[in-house]
Amino acid sequence: MRRIGTLAFASLIASCSIAAAQDSYPSQTVKIVLPNAPGSTTDILARLLADHLARKWGKTTVVENIAGGSMNIGAAAVARAAPDGYTLMVAPPAPFTINHLLNKDISYTPSQFVPITLLAKISNVLSVRKTLPVQSVKELIAYAKANPGKLTFATQGPGSTAHLTGMLLQELTGIKMVAVPYRGAQQALNGLVAGDVDMFFDTLATSTPLHRGDKLRILAVAGLERARTLPELPTVAEAGVPGFRSITWFGFAGPPGLPTALADRLNRDAVEVLRSKEFGERLEALSLEVGATAPAETARFFSDETALWSGVIKQAGITPQ
């Protein structure tokens, strides 16, 4: 009985210590890791989140870009981090739902990340270089069929949303293209504007200013609905590719083992920020739709997206490398 009482007392003390640590969180600098290069929509969003959380918490919150390895290097760094809430991750779909489908030897398990919330989502757009002799999706498909294997499309690396979206377009239309990997979205955009590649499935937020500035041409929106900011442009499905859908989203998660109570605390703080008037206006300016999901809902969303792109990968005959 004495031993049982001692163990129960020790357990109580441990629980109180964890609760106290969570009540005082954060007591030091919080680091948000991005597994991709600066300049992307993910980078902009993460820095907005870090700034607002820092103001809310009264503690420094920094963003660290750890790019490379198709986002696996940064994701692995977060997976190895202590589950104390001081190292978190903001990322697009690849490290959460896709990379393990394409890579045999990644050093982390995506499903072990602890979902906090879906920050935002946005339609992708089909952008082409200004000098490409096409004005519509139908003309693009005709051009690709007349020049098999010559049309190039930029990606942020194997397994990125842009890469799989290009593969989806191939599967649904029967065209053949060549994927050209870049270190990040900004580098891919630079390549498109320079005319080094023919097309890029980019986010609405970063391509729209370049489209309006006549630096590139958006042919269609890849989401299910037309973009509010570019209502004159059709969806890819409307433009002749039924069933086509591609969005980019941005998840917020902690390392494996992050306590549920701390994930819930982070969710409450992040959702409060996301739903604030100031943050909402910034999201709208970026053409982003707010997420603000609960942890369990976020986990289901990650699972559904994994199932979607797993089907694309299988249909394309892509095997893990």
Is residue 15 very low, low, confident or very high in pLDDT (cuts 50, 70, 90)?
very low
The structural domain count of the chain equals: 2
Instruction: Tell me, yes or no, whether 254 and 237 share the same domain.
Output: no
Alpha helices in 230-294 (DSSP H): 260-274, 277-285
Whole-angstrom CA distances from 76 to 38, 56, 79, 100 are 18, 28, 5, 12
Instruction: Tell me, yes or no, whether 160 and 218 share the same domain.
Output: yes
Q: Quick one: how far is CA 239 from the chain centroid?
A: 26
Instruction: Tell me, yes or no, whether 87 and 153 share the same domain.
Output: no
Q: What range does the domain containing 209 cover?
A: 123-247
pLDDT exceeds 60 at position 20: no
- What pLDDT, on the 0 to 100 scale, is given for residue 22? 58
Question: What does the pLDDT look like over 125-170, one tens digit per residue?
Answer: 999 999 999 999 999 999 999 999 999 999 987 778 899 999 999 9
User: Does residue 261 sit within a domain?
Assistant: yes
Instruction: Tell me, yes or no, whether 205 and 152 share the same domain.
Output: yes
Instruction: Tell me, yes or no, whether 70 and 51 share the same domain.
Output: yes
Compute the average pLDDT of residues 251-258.
Answer: 98
- What pLDDT, on the 0 to 100 scale, is given for residue 11? 42
Question: SS3 sequence, 156-225?
Answer: CCCCCHHHHHHHHHHHHHCCCEEEEECCCHHHHHHHHHHCCCCEEEEEHHHHHHHHHCCCEEEEEECCCC
Surface-to-core class of residue 63, CB atoms within 10 Å of its CB (0-12 exposed, 13-18 middle, 19+ buried): middle
- Does residue 118 or residue 186 have the better pLDDT? 118
Q: Is the dihedral of CA 134, 137, 141, 144 positive or negative?
A: positive
pLDDT exceeds 70 at position 6: no
Residue 51 DSSP label: H
Compute the average pLDDT of residues 220-226.
Answer: 93
Instruction: Tell me, yes or no, whether 226 and 260 share the same domain.
Output: no
Task: Flag whether the pTM goes above 0.85.
Answer: no
Contact 143, 133 (CB under 8 A): yes
Alpha-carbon gap, residue 167 to 177, rounded angstroms: 9
Is residue 3 very low, low, confident or very high in pLDDT (cuts 50, 70, 90)?
low
In sequence order, the 6+-apart residues with CB closer than 8 A to the CB of 270 are 49, 53, 116, 117, 119, 252, 292
